Amino acid sequence: MTLTVLILAAGEGKRMRSDLPKVMHLLCGKPLLHHVMETVRDLKVRRTIVIVGHGKDRVRAALPKGVLVVDQRDPRGTGHALMRAARAFPDLKGTVLVMSGDVPLFTTETVLGLLLLHRMKRADMTLATAELDDPGRYGRILRDAKGGVAAIREASDASEEELAVTEVNAGLYAFRWERIAPLLRGLKAANRQKEYYLTDLIAPAVRRGYRVLPFLLKNPAEMMGANTRQDLALLHRILYSQKADSLMEEGVTLLQPSHAYIAPDVEVGRDTIIHPGVVIENSRIGSGCVLYPGNVIRGSSVGDGTVLYPHNMIEDSAIGRGCRVGPSAHLRPGTCLEDDVRVGNFVEIKKATLGRGTKAAHLTYLGDASIGSGVNIGCGTITCNYDGVMKSRTVIGDGAFIGSDCQLIAPVTVGRNAYTASGSTITEDVPAGALAIGRARQRNILGWVKKKKG
């Protein structure tokens, strides 16, 4: 049976009080919408369709290649979104899985469970439900005398008796599209919000004798959405806590789990020690590493046995085994540190490779550079890579020694085992094994201070 995923992402999210579309707010470093899409990434999906509206251009720009888009235009509810999809894709058929782009906690296992029930029971509509002690704003599941699903009543339209119901709509649906699509034509905006509700499809489906099945969630927390900043903060706490527990079970030491901000997609090897206040997103950390407080690591890999001293910023970089980084280093995108490299305090590196055993101990900028193995980069060294028009590269051979406070004016090459004297400005290539001195000759003027001050 064909499977189409339909993700509702047109909402403005007024309670977020933001210019950003609600589904684009970040959760553990990724938009809410991306979390939802990753849930169904490994399913055999014929096509994924995202319904956009508020901030549509921004949402569209963030979508992966191959995802289809429907502009809801003047969004008027979830039922209205399905109407737009039906009009845009008249060839829709088979199973249509409907999800909300601001509900990021549904697991792939939960979605597969709902789809399995839907297909095995040959249902026309299967909807996820949950039992809550405090149902709050969620739509209530109304049952008939035989215990079957009869309707869903939105909380804003429910009676006092209906509000007492504790089984709620979890906002995850599977439809047999050929049976459900015709019901869209009968939807009415007869409610306080003057919107077309997807949930109003249930009652007419039941009246026609369609098979409508509930799928009770084992973990009701999965249905939590992000309607307010408080909701978003809670979602962060849930995901960080789940990841911390998972890592500790796998042999990672977290010295203060409640202050470990590690995204769900991060991999960490056993016997790594993570101190409080570390942020890791979309990265892989090896085994036996030590990450001291204040490190922020995004889109990077860190090899086994590496130590990250406090307060480093590491972005889209690759760090080898046994390296020592920081404190307060900044590895910008395109940085590659081979094994046993030492990068010290207040060193900034961008689009540069440092070979095995190379050291840049402190107060240095290395941009657009290829640096060999066993190189010593003295304090205060700068690769002057930008002339105001274009970027150029600096090449430093194996075993070279760059004295303190040197400026390497790119494009320039320092040969293997060459030396540059401290305080030099290097504008020409340095041959292998040579010493380069690029200083003005010092001149002392005796008695100058006394004459100047009179």
pLDDT in tens, 367-421: 999 999 999 999 999 999 999 999 999 999 999 999 999 999 999 999 999 999 9
Residue 5: pLDDT over 70:
yes
Residue 211: pLDDT over 70:
yes
Average pLDDT, the chain: 96
Residue 429: pLDDT over 90:
yes
Residue 2: pLDDT over 90:
no
Predicted local distance difference test score (pLDDT) of residue 1: 62
Q: How far apart (Å, rounded) are the C-alpha atoms in residues 52 and 50?
A: 6
Q: Per-residue pLDDT averaged across 271-295, rounded?
A: 98
Q: Confidence class of residue 229 from pLDDT cuts 50, 70 and 90? A: very high
150-188 confidence digits (pLDDT tens): 999 999 899 999 999 999 999 999 999 999 999 999 999
Alpha helix stretches (DSSP H) within 70-137: 78-88, 108-120
Q: Per-residue pLDDT averaged across 254-275, rounded?
A: 98
Residue 362 catalytic? yes
Q: Name the nearest CA neighbour of 284 among 248, 256, 311, 247.
A: 247
Q: How far apart (Å, rounded) are the C-alpha atoms in residues 318 and 301?
A: 5
Q: Which amino acid is at 284?
A: R
**Strand pairing category for 140-143 and 253-254:** unpaired
Predicted local distance difference test score (pLDDT) of residue 391: 96
Q: What angle do CA 25, 27, 31 make, to 5 degrees?
A: 50
Q: Confidence class of residue 42 from pLDDT cuts 50, 70 and 90? A: confident
What is the CATH code of the structural domain delimited by 3-223? 3.90.550.10
Q: Per-residue pLDDT averaged across 272-279, rounded?
A: 98
Q: Per-residue pLDDT averaged across 53-74, rounded?
A: 94
The answer to whether the beta carbons of residues 348 and 364 sit under 8 Å apart is: yes
Predicted local distance difference test score (pLDDT) of residue 12: 85
Predicted local distance difference test score (pLDDT) of residue 138: 94
For the chain, the domains span 3-223, 251-436
- For residue 311, how many other CB atoms are within 10 A of its CB? 17
Predicted local distance difference test score (pLDDT) of residue 13: 84
Phi, psi dihedrals of residue 3, rounded to the nearest 5° = -125, 125
Q: Confidence class of residue 192 from pLDDT cuts 50, 70 and 90? A: confident
Q: How far apart (Å, rounded) are the C-alpha atoms in residues 57 and 393?
A: 37
- Selected catalytic residue, list 80, 118, 330, 362: 362
* 3-class SS of residue 166: coil
Element (H, E) at 235: helix 229-249
Tell me the DSSP string of 261-312: EE-TT-EE-TT-EE-TTEEEES-EE-TT-EE-TT-EEES-EE-TT-EE-SS-
The fold adopted by the segment(s) 251-436 is: UDP N-Acetylglucosamine Acyltransferase; domain 1 (2.160.10)
